[in-house]
A and B are shown apart, each in its own frame.
Chain A
Amino acid sequence: MRNMKQGFTLIELLIAIVLAAGGLMVLMQLMSVAIFADSDLEYSLTALNLANEKLEEVKDSDYSSVVSATESPISGFSWIDDRVVTVSEVSSDLKDVQVEVRWTQKGGQQSVNVRTYIADY
């Protein structure tokens, strides 16, 4: 009976505090995962816009000047590694154009790709 009224020991309290802190840390971790997932999306969307920008430029140029090229850096977007245009001739009047925008995030390289065919008409 006397033992039941003893209350918590110091060790029990410390264990409880450490466990509670550990639990909070896990929650924080989840929060930061959510935040990073969202910033990934922000980068991808802007990279996609920049890839489309290049594609529109290519569509607006003469057929003969549609050639492979690499741009780096992209002004105003220092986080982008480079923007690569790869052109391969499908036939004498048809070109396969791919634009790839690459950036580095969390140690790995990410990229988005857009692709179109351009005809000499």
Chain B
Amino acid sequence: MQARDKTRFTNRGFTLIEMIIVLVLLPMLLGVSGSLFVVGLHAWDTGRTRTGIREDVSYAMDEVVRDLKEMANGSLAQYSSISHTIQFDERGGDTYVLYLHNADDSSFDSSYTESLYDLRKADITQGEDPASGEGTLILRDLVSPDATTPATALTISSTQVTLDIVVQRSDEIVRTRTKVRPRNL
């Protein structure tokens, strides 16, 4: 009798109270850790997008700043008076044009009607045509110069170039700006 009672006692399972406690605590813990995980994933995604933009912008800045610093004397101008283009001669070499391109913006002029543009560099001495988007791709996803701020701006004064670069991918916007004074002017 004593032995059977003991058996019944050890096999008795959870009480209703214990079950209720587990059923309440488990979803709470799962909910908290789950929502933390979702927040973490979102932050991770954001971070990855921004890292990508930063790397690309850093590369593009290096490339463009070096070109402009070393350009030939007296060659700084806009390409056929189109705003946000920069034409320059390499010393003793070809003439290049830095320009913004989006295939959907078919008219190559000072109005930038699309939302995002690519920065490209065309070697016009070698016959590369900016109007049809030829040349080397330097940086993708620049916000249109016509956008409400912040907007990309490539501006030229007589002795300086200002590069105001705004890149947008998904909802992430990275902006950086610098000036270059060509050394040979």
A residues neighboring B (CB under 8 Å): 2-3, 6, 10, 13-14, 17-18, 21, 24-25, 28, 31-32, 34-35, 38-39, 41-42, 45-46, 49-50, 52-53, 56-57, 59-60, 76-77
The answer to whether A10 and B160 have CB atoms under 8 Å apart is: no
User: Min CB distance, B178 to chain A, in Å?
Assistant: 4
* Nearest-neighbor residue (CB-CB) of A49 within chain B: B178
- What's the Cα separation between A41 and B13 when bound, in Å? 56
Q: Decide if A13 touches B22 in the complex (CB within 8 Å).
A: yes
Known: A10-B14, A13-B22. A50 touches B43 (CB 8 A): no
User: What is the size, in residues, of chain B's interface with A at 8 Å between Cβ atoms?
Assistant: 39
B138 CB to nearest A CB, Å: 16
Whether B175 lies near A34 (C-beta < 8 A) is no
Complex partner residue of A53 from B36, B175, B178, CB under 8 angstroms: B178
Contact B36 A25 (CB under 8 A): yes
Q: For residue A45, give the distance in angstroms from its CB to the closest CB of chain B.
A: 6
What chain B residues lie within 8 Å of A21 (beta carbons)?
29, 32-33
The smallest C-beta distance from B18 to any residue of chain A, in angstroms, reads 5
Besides A31-B40, A56-B179, 19 new A-B residue pairs in contact (Cβ under 8 A), listed by A number: A17-B29, A18-B29, A24-B33, A24-B37, A28-B36, A31-B43, A34-B47, A38-B47, A45-B54, A45-B58, A45-B176, A49-B177, A50-B176, A52-B179, A53-B162, A53-B177, A56-B180, A56-B181, A77-B177
